[in-house]
Amino acid sequence: MSELQSFDWSGWSEHELKRVDLAMQQWLKPFEPQALYESMSHALLGGGKRLRPLLCLAAREAMREFDGAKPRADLEQAALRAACALEMVHAYSLVHDDMPCMDNDVLRRGLPTVHVKFGESMALLCGDALQTLAFEVITPEPQEVSEAIQARLCRILSRAAGLQGMCGGQAIDLSSVGLRLTQAQLELMHAKKTGALLRASVLMGAACSHLEDSRWQSCAQFLTTFAEKLGLAFQVIDDVLDVVSDAKTLGKTPGKDALNDKPNFVALLGLEGARDYAMGLYDEALDQLSQSGLKQTQALGALAALVVHRKS
């Protein structure tokens, strides 16, 4: 990855992660009742890779060249809010997925899941309130972020999280247990279940830029295809890790797909086949970045590498 030579990935990502964590703490301050606050805080601030916030901020970096000469504090603020909102939606989905009526998982990021620690009814409310908080965070008073960008962020996020996106994919997943899906059906499910929010991460970051430039639309299209390739690679690697990893490295219970007879890429393509498929998608994703002609895509490229080389 020659583009990484002139780019300080660890400096950039550490700096951005710190901003995201600080902002999330600021937007989720202690409140009554304590149990709701603590469960939300456990779900949101208990670690995680923060892949969606970083993708969002990396896409903002890539599209920064459209800003014009003046520094745009409003666009930085919008992107930071969008990044946190994405993590909130992701965190809510994990809390609800882990519940006994869904995957019945007791371990997440090496810690007890929310329903284990706070009870089922609080886990239900915790997820509900995290979803709402995402929309709260991206709709501040208009002096912080322009209302046009607020509306755009809500439009992208709601379509990615709802019945056409994440929730729809979850429901297809639920209805597919024990079925033999074709690769195309499996990919459609994942495009909704995890892909839609990863795609929204890139789109929301890209939306936090000055849109008037005529080149913007074509660049946004390259970033969208990048995100779609990356989202699929993410899921293929997830399936690989579910087979080869242990609970300690993974931070959650491995082997659940096979146990629950859930369709997955390793079952379809074999272990090596799945790995090769992910690496091919990675190359195609990087190709989209080069084709875009954008100059500041190094952070996006580094995130793509992280997705396919991760161990957990």
User: Interaction with a second copy in 112-131: which residues (CB under 8 A)?
Assistant: 119-122, 124-125, 127-129, 131
CA distance 108 to 94: 9
Read off φ and ψ for residue 270, nearest 5 degrees.
80, 165
Q: Which of 45, 171, 211, 241 touches a second copy (CB under 8 A)?
A: 171
In the complex, least distance from residue 233 CB atom to a second copy, rounded to whole angstroms: 25
Site size toward a second copy, by CB under 8 A:
51
Which token pair is 214? 């005529």
Choose between 224 and 245: whose C-beta lies nearer to a second copy: 224
Asked whether the beta carbons of 196 and 169 are under 8 A apart, the reply is yes
Residue 107 β-bridge partners = 112
Residue 108 β-bridge partners = 111
What is the CB-side half-sphere exposure of residue 163 using CA atoms within 13 A?
A: 0
Asked whether the beta carbons of 204 and 157 are under 8 A apart, the reply is yes
Choose between 20 and 40: whose C-beta lies nearer to a second copy: 40
Choose between 127 and 231: whose C-beta lies nearer to a second copy: 127
Q: Which whole-number Å values give the CA distances from 74 to 25, 145, 312, in the listed order?
A: 20, 5, 35
Choose between 110 and 140: whose C-beta lies nearer to a second copy: 140
Q: Does 271 bind a second copy (CB under 8 A)?
A: no
Q: Does 162 bind a second copy (CB under 8 A)?
A: yes
CA distance 84 to 35: 22
Q: Does 35 bind a second copy (CB under 8 A)?
A: yes
Asked whether the beta carbons of 51 and 307 are under 8 A apart, the reply is yes
Length of the chain: 312
Q: Does 148 bind a second copy (CB under 8 A)?
A: yes
Q: Does 290 bind a second copy (CB under 8 A)?
A: no
Note the residues at the interface with a second copy (CB under 8 A): 31-33, 35-37, 40, 92, 96, 99, 101-102, 119-122, 124-125, 127-129, 131-133, 135-136, 138-140, 142, 147-148, 150-152, 154-155, 157-159, 161-164, 167-168, 170-172, 174-175
